[in-house]
Amino acid sequence: MRVVIVAQDVLRGLGLRILCASLLLAAPAFISAPARAASEEIQVYMDDLTQPGKFGADIHNNYVFSGSNTPPYEGGQPPSHVYRLTPEFYYGVTNSFELGLYVLSAAGSQSAAHLDGAKLRAKYIAPHDEKQGDFWGLNLEIGKTNRRVSETPWNGQLKGIYGRRSGRWTFAVNPNIDWSLSSSIHSSGAFEIDTKVAYRLDAGYELGFESYNELGPVRRPGDLNEQSQVLYAVIDTDVAGFDLNAGIGRGLTDASDRWVFKFIVGVHY
């Protein structure tokens, strides 16, 4: 616990701008290989955390109504008509620090339901005003997946979290760096930026847009038209104590899934 508190103090002292700059500048030095962006969770990370000593769970669901029938690589699962179910369990360690576990599974029109692996995550959110103003943090994920999900078995992701609330408006952005922990592959990592803009209505729910944008290898960013770019219309609300996030996504490039539905149900204990 003392180590966690010390780590929080260090992160708080660095500040958001220095942290993001260091992340981008240091990336090529520690990234050894790409980890193709997984679609087991379609979510823009915000400042939500479970209370210390409490458990929570999010059930991630998404289904590709229209997409490619061609495997993205040898042994990979074609995305078209694939349903992914990913339970996420998490525990609040402190007011700023949370630990979590993802369990990946999927079922396709040409394959039976199967497990795809698991990931551990650690999430830090700096102290802030939860109703107005800026918030920032970090999320680190490390996991082992099968070849249907990734070309390499062991992968990691470092996600930056920044957002701002102003009146009824909420804005958030996640710069993500994915890399492989498998030493057999040597190439640069993958960079992605996810964003969210939402407006809170008098009825108590929020309407907005989320975008998920792959930028290609960190060392050699590719043409955006050749990368996956998906825009979602989303709604956020709560019903009977459950947090709900649902959206319909439309691919904007040939490399994207054409139509995707996502639905996340969250509960806190």
Q: How many Cα neighbours within 13 Å face the side chain of 63? A: 9
Interval 39-84: pLDDT, tens: 789 999 999 999 999 999 999 999 999 888 888 888 888 888 999 9
18: pLDDT confidence band, cut at 50, 70 and 90?
very low
Q: Model's pTM, two decimal places?
A: 0.82
CATH number at 114 reads 2.40.160.40
C-alpha span between 97 and 91 (Å, rounded): 9
Indicate the number of domains in the chain: 1
Which runs of E-coded beta strand occur in 188-228? 190-200, 206-217
Task: Please report how the helices 2-14 and 16-30 are oriented relative to each other, as an axis angle in degrees rounded to 10.
Answer: 100
Stronger pLDDT, 75 or 130, i.e. the higher one = 130
Domain that holds residue 199: 2-268
Q: Answer yes or no: is pLDDT of 28 > 70.
A: no
Q: Answer yes or no: is pLDDT of 2 > 80.
A: no
Instruction: Name the token pair of 253.
Output: 């490039």
C-alpha span between 17 and 5 (Å, rounded): 21
Interval 236-255: pLDDT, tens: 999 888 999 999 999 999 88
